Structure formats: C-alpha cells, structure tokens
C-alpha cells in the first residue's frame, strides 16, 4: 500500500530523469488588494485531475513529457525576503541539476526569487512578461519587495531593453513613464510578440518567461486578486505561449491564481490548461 502522492496531472517523472521541475511558492503576504494567491499552486495540482493529459491544440500528451513536480515550498508568511531566499535556493537546486525550473505562484513577487537564480547563470537573459499590470513601481507604501514592484526589481538585475511586457493595461502614470525609457512595453495585447520571439529565437538568447494569469480577461479568469477588464482571450494566450516556447526558455513561472475568489472553479481549470499547454510547448 503506497502513500498518497499528489502531483500536477502527468508530472510523475522521477526527478533525476526530468527535463522540467515544477515547484510551488504559496506566498501572498505583500498582496495589497485581495489575498489568496497562496492557494494557487496547490489548487492547480488538486484540480488538474479534471484535465486530460492530451492537448488537441498541440497534438501532444503530457505522458510523453518528462516533468517532476516537487510540491510546494513551506514559506514564511510575513517575511518577503525569507520567502524569496527559499525560492531562489530551490530554483538554483533545479538549475544545478541541469533542469528547467517552473515556478507556480503565489503572488507575482515570487518571480524575483526564481529570476535571481536564473540570472546568476544567465546574466544576459531576457524576460518576457505577460501581465495586466506593469509591476514597475519603485516601492509600494514603502516596501521595495512587493508584488507591485517585482518587474522593477527584475529590471535592476537585467537592465534596459531586456524586459518585454505584454497585455499591460494598468499601472500608475509613473510606471508607464518608466517603461517608456527602460522596458519594451506592449499595452493591452500581444502585438509585437511574433517579431520579438522570432528575433530572440534566432539569437538563442536565454529567456525567462513569467506569466501573470491576470493578463487574461476576467471573463476567462476571474479568480485573481486584482482583475482588470479588457484582457486577452484564452486562445490568444495559448498562441502566445507557443511563440515564446520557440525561444531558448531557461526558466518560467505561472502566477496569481487565487482560487477561492472564483467559486465556479473556472479559473483554476483555465490555469491548469495554461500550465499543460506551457509544459507541452516547452517539451520540444
């Protein structure tokens, strides 16, 4: 009789043989509006059994991929720095083993832990960022480590011209001004993504890919802390993911599912499907 192992569906490859390693960061302490993203990774794992492993979009099956799911980290609520430290350590451990770390948030701040680890190995890396929010504040009510500042902190690591933002439709005026000078911001949708990913794919530059699921329209994804009307559709997101997957992705994350905010369960189901499609696309 065996103990009860719970993974994202089809992600039961042993660690040693895996190409991709999932790890969850159930953290949302800096969320300023509606918390609950801490339950995102666990809900995706739990509800993934309502999903098929086969994708008719890509005609691929998760059972043919090699993915290991290492479960959720046990993070300290109330200390952003401690949480980021543990996330970074886990990402480094995965990178050291020559595997791709795929982080499941949690709030978007968790990305910084993973980006720090990837950046040490790939200082020239680019970041492709799908989000409703610019996340470019310098601080939020005095805090430098906040979900609203995460891309600004990333910018301090990777510098001008290395951050590519899509679907952005919310931020204060100052963030949009900052973006004009320092990042490659595409408002509202994916316009320009095809050109960008073709260029990045040609160059072979390492790419960190961070998906804040609130880039989706709230009609498709209501279960998130700060829903922003006017987002992209699910098929648009799938197509965009496949574009990015053609570049040299060296790290990735999926964030900001707050499952309790959507009692219909549709948001969790959509997040599971996004993850399946991302895993399939990243498995060559």
| Straight-line distance from the first to the last Cα atom of the chain, in angstroms, rounded to the nearest whole number | 36
**Distance between CA atoms of residues 267 and 280, nearest Å:** 20
CB of 231 to its own copies, least distance (A): 9
Contacts with its own copies in 40-79 (CB under 8 A)? 42, 45-46, 49-50, 52-54, 56-57, 61, 68-72, 74-79
Contact with its own copies (CB under 8 A): which of 10, 101, 223, 251?
223
Contact with its own copies (CB under 8 A): which of 190, 273, 280, 282?
273
> Which residues have CB under 8 Å from 272's CB, separation 6+?
8, 9, 44, 47, 48, 50, 51
| Residue (101 or 206) nearer to its own copies, CB | 101
Decide: is 145 part of the binding site for its own copies (CB under 8 A). yes
Decide: is 235 part of the binding site for its own copies (CB under 8 A). yes
> Which residues have CB under 8 Å from 76's CB, separation 6+?
82, 83, 86
- State the number of binding residues for its own copies (CB under 8 A): 85
Decide: is 82 part of the binding site for its own copies (CB under 8 A). yes
> Which residues have CB under 8 Å from 167's CB, separation 6+?
130, 131, 132, 186, 187, 188, 189, 190, 215, 231, 232
Backbone angles phi and psi of 127, in degrees to 5: -120, 125
For residue 30, how many C-alpha atoms fall within 13 Å in the half-sphere facing its CB?
A: 25
| Residue (106 or 207) nearer to its own copies, CB | 106
CB of 49 to its own copies, least distance (A): 8
> Which residues have CB under 8 Å from 59's CB, separation 6+?
none
Decide: is 161 part of the binding site for its own copies (CB under 8 A). no
| Residue (126 or 273) nearer to its own copies, CB | 273
**For 106, which DSSP code?**
S
| Residue (76 or 205) nearer to its own copies, CB | 76
Contact with its own copies (CB under 8 A): which of 10, 25, 30, 281?
30
Contact with its own copies (CB under 8 A): which of 124, 138, 160, 172?
172
Contact with its own copies (CB under 8 A): which of 157, 201, 261, 283?
261
> Which residues have CB under 8 Å from 53's CB, separation 6+?
9, 10, 61, 62, 63, 276
CB of 262 to its own copies, least distance (A): 5
Contacts with its own copies in 97-136 (CB under 8 A)? none
Decide: is 19 part of the binding site for its own copies (CB under 8 A). no
């Amino acid at each position: 009789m065996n103990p009860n192992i719970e993974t994202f569906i089809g992600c039961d490859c042993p660690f040693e043989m895996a190409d991709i390693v999932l790890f969850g960061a159930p953290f949302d302490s800096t969320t300023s509006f509606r918390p609950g993203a801490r339950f995102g990774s666990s809900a995706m794992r739990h509800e993934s059994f309502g999903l098929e492993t086969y994708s008719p979009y890509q005609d691929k099956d998760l059972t043919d991929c090699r993915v290991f799911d290492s479960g959720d980290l046990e993070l300290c609520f109330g200390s952003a720095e401690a949480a980021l430290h543990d996330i970074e350590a886990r990402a480094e451990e995965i990178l050291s083993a020559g595997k791709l770390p795929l982080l499941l948030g949690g709030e978007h701040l968790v990305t910084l832990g993973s980006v720090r680890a990837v950046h040490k190995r790939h200082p020239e890396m680019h970041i492709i960022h799908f989000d409703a929010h610019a996340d470019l504040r310098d601080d939020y009510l005095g805090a430098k480590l906040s979900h609203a500042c995460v891309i600004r902190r990333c910018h301090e690591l990777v510098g001008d011209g290395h951050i590519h933002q899509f679907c952005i439709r919310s931020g204060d005026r100052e963030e949009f001004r900052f973006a004009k000078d320092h990042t490659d911001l595409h408002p509202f949708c994916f316009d320009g993504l095809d050109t960008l990913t073709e260029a990045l794919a040609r160059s072979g530059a390492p790419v960190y890919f961070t998906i804040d699921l609130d880039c989706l329209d709230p009609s498709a994804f209501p279960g998130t802390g700060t829903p922003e009307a006017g987002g992209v559709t699910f098929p648009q997101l799938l197509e965009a993911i496949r574009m990015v997957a053609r570049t040299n992705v060296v790290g990735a994350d999926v964030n900001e599912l707050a499952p309790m905010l959507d009692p219909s369960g549709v948001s969790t189901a959509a997040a599971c499907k996004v993850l399946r499609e991302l895993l399939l696309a990243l498995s060559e």
